[in-house]
Structure 1
């Protein structure tokens, strides 16, 4: 019960706020700057949660269907005022957002997923004059961040949503339920993905986000893993924790530059094919992607995200019976981060050969495992550069253990 109350308190306090940053103004142009479309709201009864209406935020000055983002809120955040900033920002840029509240208590997690799914599909069916389902994004925070993958997979496969453009943007995600390894390995490869975690988040273990990011069938060129860090500028604290985006007190540069800017660029790339948007949202660590205002710590982009903190740092650890992917948590260790200067594994993806550079000059026992944990190849060497022939392995995702410790996911 303590954990449930904690998340509830984190989310229900986010009530109306205005931009109030003492150091940096909002972006005045380009990605992250406010748009000029007029915000309209359609509200209708939610059949699965009658006390909270489903809402469609849309640009009322556009008469044709527009690309649409389906938003899954955090646990306890079933009031759209909690995230009014990002809802208005998206609409002003010319896109629609479907906001579906789900119950905090008295239902199961499966009920919450069903509520979100039925609300999304009802909105798309009943308001096709507003919603263009050929261009869609699934955006979610915390519980909603984890749910976005399952919901997106269903809508992509069952309804062919996103046939002309689709993405997932997951923030500080909780456990992802009802998504099998086969589901992860069969995502449409044209899906774009931004996964973002926050360095001072002590609620949701980053391993949940890393696990899904590593195993989802999206090319590295179309997905990025982003870490935002806290900092202090001229006495003002920018706190990168579980409450980002922050609407409880004020919007600040952390919201606009570390979140709104990337979301804006991801929409432009996904829906319009603009490569300038890709350089910001999915830039693989490009200057345009990671640079924050002078004095703030830049974002960090990973293609092989490390585990930095132990599980006991978090209220919701990866190795929990609540997590249906608990068995994958043992493959993710802080040892990978702490020892990465001693060992490097490359390239990733690999083709004919996989190399391990051993800077510690100790005997390395290397084993390659498939996703069921079976050993498919093993060797040992004390060479500084170990070459492993992998051309006989089937195409897929594997993980490499060095001296019986999980080190790195690789794709062949």
Structure 2
């Protein structure tokens, strides 16, 4: 597997185009008969992804969390990006001079244009959060990309000063950025002095929301040979790790082996979440790798479809409300769902108003899917196999266990 393939996959993950690594480009067969009669069934998404992605009008919208907030939002690309000067750092923030908690977003490989996730970032800012987006280059070692993200986050916090409440902080990441998220959180929460801070961020509240992560590489000063690279994260870091049933770019086992199994064993609150694809009357909600970035093609309005709102925006908003704003039991129930209602992803407006196939979640056990694959893989066949050797081949951080 070459570096150019992974770079292409990162770009495709943002654009939502999956045809480049679908072998001859044939669609995987999908059993649509049950969908046509409105029966609730779990299924794998059609590939290649196309204009069948559901519009915003296809499903109901969430209430309370995941909604557009009351605050006007200002978007400013006004923070210099020292390690990539051509691409400034963008801040989505409420358009006033008040102080708000801060959410630091790490994008997918090739997703350096903040507008790819603009609807999500704007929605979060409108509910009273400063959201920071730092572009990083596709080239160079992993360490330089992590450093670009970190130095950019610090630069934004310094420039905005008291408007950023860095005692209440969340780290959010997708794909490569998802893999980077626990290391960035570790620098902020567990190793602040070594990483240019005078005090740890997040002393009044902190969380991580990690989506479909790529390999993860901590930069430890004193590494051990044990499989606990994020062992020094504070146990009060509320953590959600979300994977997608039809992710044909990143093996969900990366999330298991590189992050879930390396978190502190006594982490107080964590949730593994599996999002599945669903369809109704020719509309599709694809749980593919690009889910958090919306869909950049036709039909119009696909940026904020049901999965974007219910699976991603609503969960992040609730996690932030619970972690950073004392959102209480309701916010916690959505961020760490256990009941049928909390696991729900809305309802189709057609198909008799049936429920969209819900999340699956666990506080203890990673949940994998029968979907996945890509390339020449058979339809609905989980073919990924996590490879420690492949992980190490991408590492530039050295032993033990390639960090």
Q: State the TM-score, normalizing by the size of structure 2.
A: 0.74
Give the aligned partner of residue 86 of structure 2: 51
State yes or no: 1:80 paired with 2:114: yes
Please report how far the alpha carbon of residue 310 of structure 1 lies from its aligned counterpart in structure 2 after TM superposition.
9.8
Aligned partners of 2:60 and 2:372: how far apart in 1?
A: 37
CA deviations over 1:197-231 (Å, ceiling 9, x no partner)? 00000111111112222331164651000000001
Aligned partners of 1:102 and 1:263: how far apart in 2?
A: 23
CA 1:219–1:317: 2 relative to 1, 3 Å: same
Higher RCO structure (Cα 8 Å, ≥6 apart): 2
Superposition pairs of residues 143-162 of structure 1, within 5 angstroms: 143-157=176-190, 158=192, 159-162=199-202
Superposition pairs of residues 68-107 of structure 1, within 5 angstroms: 68-105=102-139, 107=140
Three-state SS of the structure 2 residue aligned to 1:301 is strand
CA 1:191–1:134: 2 relative to 1, 3 Å: same
State yes or no: 1:10 paired with 2:70: no
Three-state SS of the structure 1 residue aligned to 2:152 is helix
On the 8 A contact 2:79/2:155 being kept in 1, the answer is no
CA 1:199–1:257: 2 relative to 1, 3 Å: same
State yes or no: 1:176 paired with 2:220: no
Aligned partners of 1:311 and 1:58: how far apart in 2?
A: 36
Aligned partners of 2:167 and 2:365: how far apart in 1?
A: 31
From 175, 179, 198, the equivalent of 1:142 is 175
Three-state SS of the structure 1 residue aligned to 2:162 is coil
From 114, 121, 124, the equivalent of 2:157 is 124
Superposition pairs of residues 8-407 of structure 1, within 5 angstroms: 8-12=11-15, 20-27=55-62, 29-42=63-76, 43-61=78-96, 63-105=97-139, 107-157=140-190, 158=192, 159-178=199-218, 181-211=227-257, 212-217=259-264, 219=266, 222-245=269-292, 246-249=294-297, 250=302, 251-273=304-326, 274-283=328-337, 285-294=338-347, 295=354, 296-302=356-362, 303-308=364-369, 318-324=386-392
Structure with higher Rg: it is 1
CA 1:218–1:139: 2 relative to 1, 3 Å: farther
CA deviations over 1:143-183 (Å, ceiling 9, x no partner)? 00010000100111213110000000000000011255454
CA 1:218–1:70: 2 relative to 1, 3 Å: farther
On the 8 A contact 1:85/1:247 being kept in 2, the answer is no
Three-state SS of the structure 2 residue aligned to 1:247 is coil
CA 1:197–1:311: 2 relative to 1, 3 Å: closer
Three-state SS of the structure 2 residue aligned to 1:128 is helix
Please report how far the alpha carbon of residue 52 of structure 1 lies from its aligned counterpart in structure 2 after TM superposition.
0.5
On the 8 A contact 1:68/1:132 being kept in 2, the answer is yes
Aligned partners of 2:284 and 2:373: how far apart in 1?
A: 25
CA 1:175–1:33: 2 relative to 1, 3 Å: same
On the 8 A contact 2:235/2:268 being kept in 1, the answer is no
CA 1:169–1:218: 2 relative to 1, 3 Å: farther
Please report how far the alpha carbon of residue 135 of structure 1 lies from its aligned counterpart in structure 2 after TM superposition.
0.3
Question: Which stretch shows the higher mean deviation, 43-52 or 223-232?
Answer: 43-52
Aligned partners of 2:262 and 2:122: how far apart in 1?
A: 33
On the 8 A contact 1:204/1:317 being kept in 2, the answer is no
Gaps of at least 5 residues in structure 1 are: 327-371, 373-412
Give the aligned partner of residue 395 of structure 1: none
Aligned partners of 2:284 and 2:119: how far apart in 1?
A: 20
On the 8 A contact 1:280/1:286 being kept in 2, the answer is no
On the 8 A contact 2:166/2:202 being kept in 1, the answer is yes
CA deviations over 1:105-135 (Å, ceiling 9, x no partner)? 2x11111001001111111122112211100
Aligned partners of 1:310 and 1:59: how far apart in 2?
A: 40
CA 1:82–1:311: 2 relative to 1, 3 Å: closer
Please report how far the alpha carbon of residue 44 of structure 1 lies from its aligned counterpart in structure 2 after TM superposition.
2.4
Aligned partners of 1:325 and 1:275: how far apart in 2?
A: 44
Three-state SS of the structure 2 residue aligned to 1:136 is strand
Aligned partners of 1:146 and 1:265: how far apart in 2?
A: 22
